[in-house]
Amino acid sequence: MVDLSQNPKVLEVNLIKNEMRASFDWSQHLGTLFISLLIAGLFVVEIYFGLDRWSAYENDRVLATEAKFNQVSKDIKAMKSESDQVLAFKQRVDLADALLADHIYWTNFLSWLEKNTLSTVSYGGFSGGINGIYQLQATGQTFRDISWQTRAFLADPSVVSARVDSGSSTRNDKKEQTDASTGVSFAVNLKIDPKIFKAAGK
């Protein structure tokens, strides 16, 4: 162990050779610092303008989307108005078609009735609907016409049933009553398949 009190110069020994003092030369590195700051500033400015352009682009896109949405809403309203008109027109067409179908039905029915009626029988009226059930108020020359007319109806394959419940004379002069000259009235209850007339009208 070294006794420092006997050799005080030991503390003065320089243990670091060629020691240099640290110093910063501002004039030498000022340009580098300025360039670094300039690059950082340009980077910040570029980011700012980039964000600004992006924000403007997004605003334009939002406005365009909103304009498209408004246009689509207007188109939908216009189409709804047109669809309402089309539906109303379709309802009128359907109604006209139904009326036309009924007209064709009655035309076919009357043609069929004329074809299947005896020449000695005439009708004063009839009642019924498109369900095929009718009651015909008929007049014939004799009571035999009732039977022959009923048979004529039943001979047609489209007739489901034909029935005459009763007949009555239309003349009160008993002196002129003969089988050949007596007028009779009767009601024919007739049931016909309505599909035949509708199919024939198509």
SS3 assignment, position 32: helix
For residue 72 the two structure tokens come to 């689509």
Is residue 165 assigned to a domain?
A: yes
Range of the domain at 161: 116-170+181-200
User: Could you read off the pLDDT tens digit of each residue along the chain, which spans 202 residues?
Assistant: 555 555 555 555 555 555 555 555 666 667 777 788 888 888 888 888 888 888 888 888 888 888 888 888 888 888 888 888 888 888 888 887 777 666 667 788 888 899 999 999 999 888 888 788 999 999 999 989 999 999 999 999 989 999 998 888 876 555 444 444 468 999 999 999 887 776 544 4
DSSP state of 17: T
Residue 38 lies inside a defined structural domain of this protein = no
pTM: 0.47
Q: Is residue 163 part of a domain?
A: yes
Domain CATH for 125: 3.30.1360.100
Question: Has residue 34 been placed in a domain?
Answer: no
Would you say residue 141 lies in a domain? yes
Is residue 184 within 8 Å of 143, Cβ to Cβ?
Answer: yes
Q: Evaluate whether 158 touches 196 at the Cβ level (below 8 Å).
A: yes
Neighbours of 184 (CB within 10 A): 19
Domain membership flag for residue 121? yes
**Domain count of the chain?**
1
